[in-house]
Structure 1
Amino acid sequence: MADNTEQGQEDEKEEAGGNKKLILFIVIAVLLIGVSIGVTLFLMMGGEEEGGTTEQPTEPVKQPAAYQSLDPPFVIDFNVSGRQRFLQVNLTVMGRDLEALEGLKKHMPLIRNNLVLLIGGFEYHSLQTEEGKEKLRESLTKSIQAVLEKEIGKPGIEQVLFTNFVMQ
């Protein structure tokens, strides 16, 4: 009987050792899961502070430039010291709003009238300089923007470009 008692005690020791191993395994598994969740949350929170995953308002995408030629070319006559002088200039308008460029086409007669009067008001000799041409270009841009602002409610164009500039 002593043998049975000794064998029963050994079985209990083996069961207790097996239970300890199982408990130790479960504790380690829970700790590993907790650590992985903690690291994941830390990385997610850290990314938000740095601006990595936060939703920020996006800037409007800049539309590609669109060009509209103001055909036919403008021909302006100047009286310089009793001699007849001419300026022929081809203009192209750059804008990014296709609706505004349609408004430009719709109001072309008014725009062309204003531009002819504006160009004719410049001194012939001042248009021979780089500064004079740049001043004319800026004035043309402002004139077109003013018409579009009045007619469609927005300036619509960014700038006027010279595609041909001939003085005679």
Structure 2
Amino acid sequence: MKQFVLLVMLLGTGLFAAPTLAQDKPSYAYIGIEPEIVTNYLGTSAIKLGYVRVMIEVMVSDVDQLELVEHHMPLLRSTAIEIFGRQPEEKVKSLTGREDIRRAILAAFQDLMSKETGAPVIKEIIFTKYLHQS
């Protein structure tokens, strides 16, 4: 009887509980590229330039990787500015073009982080602000 009571108490406290799946799931974290990016893009003619103002949030799979991303933030910021600077006006203004730009920046970020750290580190990027003017 004592063993039964002890077993019930142990089960009630969770000591015999199965390991939780929360440990297996990644602990996603976000870091913003600050200050927001304000840069020019190619306008309709060689004389005319437009500008875009974008806030980018970077998602990593693990909170421990935030420090790596923060360390390389100047390189990531410069890369995003460079990519926006090469875009034609039609691409900047359209929704499908915006998604193409987002994917290009994500691929460039992952490539840079792979070269610098040995792993892509960055899982996703999100534009939280996207304003353009020609």
- With normalisation by structure 1, the TM-score equals 0.61
What are structure 2's unaligned runs of at least 5 residues? 1-20
What are structure 1's unaligned runs of at least 5 residues? 1-57
2:100 maps to amino acid: K
Give the ranges of 4+ consecutive aligned residues of structure 1 lying more than 6 Å apart after TM superposition: none
> Which residue, 103, 112, 125 being the options, matches 1:147?
112
Sequence identity percentage: 27
Native 8 Å contact 1:97 1:157 kept in 2 = no
Distance 1:132 1:78 in 2: 13
Task: State whether structure 2 residue 78 is matched by structure 1 residue 113.
Answer: yes
- Higher radius of gyration, 1 or 2: 1
Aligned-residue CA RMSD (Å): 2.0
- Residue aligning to 2:124: 159
- Residue aligning to 2:39: 76
Which protein is richer in helix relative to its size?
1
Give the Å deviation of 1:64: 2.6
1:62 maps to amino acid: K
Give the Å deviation of 1:79: 4.3
Distance 2:103 2:42 in 1: 24
CA deviations on 1:6-33 (whole Å, 9 max, x unpaired) are xxxxxxxxxxxxxxxxxxxxxxxxxxxx
- With normalisation by structure 2, the TM-score equals 0.75
Q: Which has the higher contact order (CA 8 A, sep 6+)?
A: 2
